[in-house]
Structures are given as C-alpha cells and as structure tokens.
Amino acid sequence: MTKSLKCLYTAVMLFAAFVVVGGKFPAVGRLFLPKEPTAYILGDQYRMCDLDRFREEIPAGKPSAAATLEEADVLTLGDSFFNSALASDIFANELGRRLGGKVHNLATKEFFEPQSYPLSYLQHIGYRGDRKRILVLETVERSALERSGTYNGAGAAAGNELDALAFKVLKNNDVEYFFKHNVMVGPLESRLKNFRFKYLNIVDKSIGAYSLNPNMLFYQRDIEFSRVKKTDAVVVAAARDIAKLSATLKERYNIDLVYMVIPDKYSVYRGLVKGAPSYDRFIPRLCSRLTEFGVKNIDVYTLYERYNRPGIPPLYFASDTHYTAHGKAVLAEATANMLRSTLPARGDGMSTIASSGEGGR
C-alpha cells in the first residue's frame, strides 16, 4: 500500500470513528453540530430531508409543572405525542386544565418504552392500587399492532434495560443523523438534497410522499403501515390483547383504561397526495371492536376527520410527525368530555374531579 493510500485509509477510519462517537455520545456530538435555536424547533421530518421549501420554525413550548402521581386521579401514558410540547404544553397538562383536576404523565427516561409495557412499568415503579384511577393509554397508529402484542408482556426491569441498551448500541439512527448534520458534512449534504429536490424531485428515503399545496411532508413508515393489510382477524386479535390489558389493570391496580390510537398524519391528510389509496379505516374498526369488548376508547381518526376541512387550522405540523397545538387541543377537549361522563363522583374515590368535570381540591 502506497503512502497516499495509507493516509487516505487512516483519514477514512478516523472520520468513521468520529461519526460513531459523535452519534453514540451526545455530549461529544453536540460539539460538532450546528447550534440549535432556543426560540423555536425545526420539525423532525424537515431534519430528515433538509429541504428549504419545507422549513418550519415551530415555537418551542415549555411544559408547565406536572401533577405528581400521588395527587393525580387521571394518568396518561404514551409515546412522543403525549410527551411533545411543540407550540403547547404536554397533553396531560392540557387535559388537566380542561378537567379542572390533576393529571399525571407516567412518561420516564429510566424505563425503555413504558408505553409498550404498561404492566411491567407499573410493577417496576412499585405502583399501588390504593385508590381508583383512570389511565389514558396512547399509541401512534404505525405502532398500534406491534404494541398491542407487548401490553401484557411480563418483561422484567433487567430485560427492559437490555432492550434499551440494544436499542442504543445497535440502532444507528443517531449515527446516521450525526453523519448527515455535523459541521463538516451537513452544509454539503443540505445543498445536495435541495439540488436533487429542485431539479430531480428526489427526496430523502425517510420521506415517503409530500404535498406542495399546502406544503406537507409524510413519513415513509406511516405510508408503509398504511399498506399493511389489517384483516378483521388481525383487528380482533389486537382488540382482545387490549381488553386483556384493561381487565388486568382493573384487577391488579384498580385502574380503568381509556385507550386511543392517534392517526398517522398520512391517514388524515392522504388526500393531498395524488394517487393515494383510500384509508382502510383501521382506527375506527379497532375502536368498534374495543367497544364490543367493553374497553373505553376514543376514535381519534373520526374526531380528526370532523376538523379536516378548509379554513380550519391544520391538525399536524407540515414538517413534523406530531399534532399542532390545535390538534392537541381538539383531542384534549374530546378526552375531557369523555372523562366527565365516566368519572365517578368524589364519594367513589375520585378526590380531585367531580363527575360534572368541575371543581378540585
């Protein structure tokens, strides 16, 4: 090997090590990424594709003080939709304000995907069913079938920690992001992506479709899930798993379950994509089965369809997979209305929220 080739090989290996370390160790990686703004956040889909046309500065919301587990009568548990504070407060606090009571969000960074293993997580934190509570459990649509199969799992804390470690070490999304956005490669990568989009209509593989009027990006994983055939047998099996979870929560922890699936943005706005097939109505079908099995639920797709009209503010950000402040408010209000009709009176163990939905401590 010539001296030039050795130098090139060494440089490539050093750069590869730099990318891996920067991706896997955020404290190091942040030193070599452009400084993030503090007043606003760039949408997750924009960060995937870096297309200037879809750049959207989303106000960085600041969650207000959350209710503690001890004082709350309503609990929430979900994925990034329930934990998002984009241009608004987190869902639990929005719900609490509408109910006039205390709502506690069970999210934690110390347990890998607690929303996929609610029973294991409650056991992990030593939850005591000393009084009646309601749990609002949420999943995004693209993960609904997968999670329905894990809800009743008995994954121990040790196994959960191994799952988290495997996710961090083996999944390379963080490394890929650092490679594409570090201060050396990022500017060149961005120019190349914008050139390819402008002249060749090519977008990043993570974006499955887009609309130009209005501007809107759609996540490839959402489109892939929309193509999955959900037979009646599949929907019934998922509903049975959720019903089993509901029964276990009631028996073991004195918790009443309210279940919801938040639609993928593509499910609601697929009409903006030319040639997109009609929606398979997965969420309404699942909700119908859940009702048959006695599980309280909210059909978020049908709810959102009522607000998917010209002149009404969008329910999802154009450049992000999550709902807007309006989309969150619509869901929080619908959830509060449902809970007002299902919460027992104070004399039945609900110390914070009366059945009318008014009052507090």
- What is the dihedral sign for C-alpha 304, 307, 310, 312? negative
Which residues on neighbouring strands pair with residue 76, listed in sequence order? 105, 136
Question: Looking at residue 116, what DSSP letter applies?
Answer: G
Of 142 and 66, more confident: 142
Spatial separation of the C-alpha atoms in residues 171 and 159, rounded to whole Å: 17
Residue with tokens 């990318």: 19
- Taking a C-beta distance cutoff of 8 angstroms, is the pair 161, 1 a contact? no
What is the pLDDT, as a whole number, of residue 273?
A: 96
Spatial separation of the C-alpha atoms in residues 46 and 339, rounded to whole Å: 36
Residue-wise pLDDT tens digits, 228-238: 999 999 999 99
Q: How many CA atoms lie within 13 A of 278 on its CB side?
A: 2
What is the pLDDT, as a whole number, of residue 60?
A: 86
SS3 52: helix
Q: Using CA atoms of 153, 297, 332, 56 in order, give the dihedral in degrees to the nearest 10.
A: 70
What is the pLDDT, as a whole number, of residue 91?
A: 96
DSSP string over 180-224:
HHSTTTHHHHHHHHHHHHHHH----TTEEEEEETTEEEEEHHHHH
Of 344 and 93, more confident: 93
What is the pLDDT, as a whole number, of residue 65?
A: 84
SS3 332: helix
Buried b (16+ CB within 10 A) or exposed e, 25-45: eeeebeebeeeeeeeebbbbb
Residue-wise pLDDT tens digits, 281-318: 999 999 999 999 999 999 999 999 999 999 999 999 99
- Taking a C-beta distance cutoff of 8 angstroms, is the pair 29, 176 a contact? no
pTM for the full predicted model:
0.85
Confidence of residue 241 (pLDDT cuts 50, 70, 90): very high
What is the pLDDT, as a whole number, of residue 26?
A: 73
What is the pLDDT, as a whole number, of residue 7?
A: 73
Residue with tokens 């050093």: 14
Spatial separation of the C-alpha atoms in residues 3 and 47, rounded to whole Å: 39
What is the pLDDT, as a whole number, of residue 83?
A: 92
Here the tokens at position 49 are 């594709």
Of 61 and 322, more confident: 322
- Taking a C-beta distance cutoff of 8 angstroms, is the pair 324, 316 a contact? yes
What is the pLDDT, as a whole number, of residue 341?
A: 73
CA 42 to chain centre: 16
Here the tokens at position 324 are 């807007």
Here the tokens at position 191 are 């120019």
Residue-wise pLDDT tens digits, 12-25: 676 666 666 666 67
C-alpha radius of gyration, the chain, whole number: 22
Q: How far is CA 69 from CA 61, 62, 66, 78, 80, in A?
A: 23, 20, 9, 16, 20
Which residues on neighbouring strands pair with residue 256, listed in sequence order? 134
Residue 339 has pLDDT above 90, yes or no: yes
What is the pLDDT, as a whole number, of residue 360?
A: 29
Determine if the peptide bond prior to 214 is cis (ω within 30°). Answer: yes
Question: Looking at residue 87, what DSSP letter applies?
Answer: T
Residue-wise pLDDT tens digits, 139-170: 999 999 999 999 998 654 545 555 555 444 44
